[in-house]
Amino acid sequence: MNQSAVDLPLSGVTVIDLTRVLAGPMCTQTLGDLGARVIKVEQPGVGDDSRAIGPFVDGTSAYFMSVNRNKESIALNLKADADREIFERLLAKADVLVENYRPGTMEKLGYDWEELHARFPRLILVSISGFGQTGPYREKPAYDMVVQAMSGMMSVTGTADSGPCRVGVSIGDLGAGLYAVIGTQSALLRRARTGQGERVDVSMLDCQIALLENPVARLSATGSVPGPIGSRHPSMAPFDVYAAQDGWFVIAVGSDALFRTLCGLIERPALADAPRFASNTERCKHQAELKALLEERLVQEPRAHWLRIFSDHGVPTGEYHSVAEAVAHPQIAARGMIASVQAPSGAALQVASNPLVASFGADSTVRRNPPALDGDRERILQDFVDAA
């Protein structure tokens, strides 16, 4: 395993990680992947809540392992004076502190932003919460499901017959974690100019609204409330999942010229000349009829046939994959998008890699396996306390 982060963009940056479960750990893992030294401060005896969430690999949570690589762990009780002294020694040498407590908790612990900034003026505080540090909902708890529902994300997911439908991954947590990475890097760049740290306030609900770029704009432009439409695109057609003889695949046509090419390839050129399909606007109005007509022809040939001829002629298309098929795909392998981490027992687990790391020439996403609780205490005390 490559232990060096010297060639990565965040090499030399130290992050103190007070986060748990998903949104915060996704942020700090990404910072660690990009070269930062991440020190995870956990509750003694218990650690990150996700350590108790299954499934488990030789007694270690796969959930925890999937978002906590490239970190070190130290257990500290922030209500105990001796541990608070260690924590403050860490802060004195750190660049960034990331926390995802409910707003008000840091103040109760005695680490409100004003106090931190006065004592550690170069320190950047990144706070991730359900609703942010301001507003009438600031103190309410939130999980991914809560912000997916409140943001309208669930209302545009699924089909008209499915009822409210959650996105298949925890996009509320993941979106907030990735926006927090952007905020952290922006604050580091600004500090390079000003010499001062600042607070980055990331709301999970805000991030879900930010990800609703098309539905929000469509509501304003048309006055019509967007709803669930399955897999098709709301403003382009044909742009959907289609049935071939032996399975599903997707076609994504974004122009009239491409549609005409598609019609020729499936030996239905007259479709391109029909007034109801002659423009993208008309095709969207008649998308259900168009899909039925296309599938009448598509089901006559196997999926591989259509994928080959569409790709050869520049029509955007792709296989429909299960997760198992995606993980095994040669394109995913070529890009190094599946990484392997190890539990303290040595058991291996495949996890999603970082899509940015390969671009920076790193040998591997994983320089350090997910830590055992308090597993790096001696090294951390040596570097931050004994050396002071």
- The answer to whether residues 164 and 52 belong to one domain is yes
How many independent structural domains does the chain possess?
Answer: 2
User: Residue 131 in contact with residue 143, Cβ under 8 Å?
Assistant: no
> How is 215-251 classified by DSSP, letter by letter?
HHHHHHHH-PPP---TTS-SS-SSEEEEEETTEEEEE
- Per-position pLDDT tens, the chain of length 388: 344 667 889 999 999 999 999 999 999 999 999 999 999 999 999 999 999 999 999 999 999 999 999 999 999 999 999 999 999 999 999 999 999 999 999 999 999 999 999 999 999 999 999 999 999 999 999 999 999 999 999 999 999 898 999 999 999 999 999 999 999 999 999 999 999 999 999 999 999 999 999 999 999 999 999 999 999 999 999 999 999 999 999 999 999 999 999 999 999 999 999 999 999 999 999 999 999 999 999 999 999 999 999 999 999 999 999 999 999 999 999 998 999 999 999 999 999 999 987 666 656 789 999 999 999 999 999 999 887 6
Burial of 371 per CB tally in 10 Å (0-12, 13-18, 19+): buried
Domain of 298: which CATH number?
3.30.1540.10
Boundary residue ending a domain (277, 296, 321)? 321
Distance of alpha carbon 263 from alpha carbon 259, whole angstroms = 6
Active site residue 233: yes
Domain residues for 258? 239-321
Residues in the chain, total: 388
Domain of 187: which CATH number?
3.40.50.10540
For residue 232, being part of any structural domain is answered with: no
> How is 55-114 classified by DSSP, letter by letter?
-EETTEEHHHHHT--SEEEEE--TTSHHHHHHHHHHHHH-SEEEE-PPTTHHHHHT--HH
Residue 14: phi, psi to the nearest 5?
-110, 130
pTM above 0.75, yes or no: yes
- The answer to whether residues 32 and 113 belong to one domain is yes
Tokens found for residue 103: 């707003």
- The answer to whether residues 41 and 126 belong to one domain is yes
CB within 8 A of 283, min separation 6: which ones?
A: 237, 238, 259, 276, 277, 290
- Tell me how far CA of residue 129 lies from CA of 17, 75, 100, in angstroms: 14, 22, 5
- The answer to whether residues 23 and 112 belong to one domain is yes
Boundary residue ending a domain (269, 293, 321)? 321
- The answer to whether residues 70 and 105 belong to one domain is yes
The edge-to-edge listing of strands for the beta sheet with 247-252 is: 239-244, 247-252, 317-319
Residue 17: phi, psi to the nearest 5?
-110, 105
- The answer to whether residues 191 and 278 belong to one domain is no
For residue 47, being part of any structural domain is answered with: yes
Boundary residue ending a domain (296, 321, 346)? 321
- The answer to whether residues 183 and 121 belong to one domain is yes
| Tokens 């998903």, residue located | 22
From the candidates 117, 233, 286, 305, which is the catalytic residue?
A: 233
- The answer to whether residues 243 and 307 belong to one domain is yes
Alpha-helix runs per DSSP H in the chain: 23-33, 62-66, 81-93, 105-109, 113-119, 144-151, 171-194, 204-211, 213-222, 256-265, 270-273, 280-285, 287-298, 303-312, 323-327, 330-334, 377-381
- Which pLDDT score is estimated for 7? 80
- The answer to whether residues 250 and 119 belong to one domain is no
User: Regarding beta strands 247-252 and 239-244, do their DSSP bridges make them parallel or antiparallel, or are they unpaired?
Assistant: antiparallel
Tokens found for residue 50: 């996700």
- The answer to whether residues 254 and 339 belong to one domain is no
- Which pLDDT score is estimated for 1? 39
Distance of alpha carbon 94 from alpha carbon 123, whole angstroms = 7
- The answer to whether residues 371 and 283 belong to one domain is no
- The answer to whether residues 308 and 372 belong to one domain is no
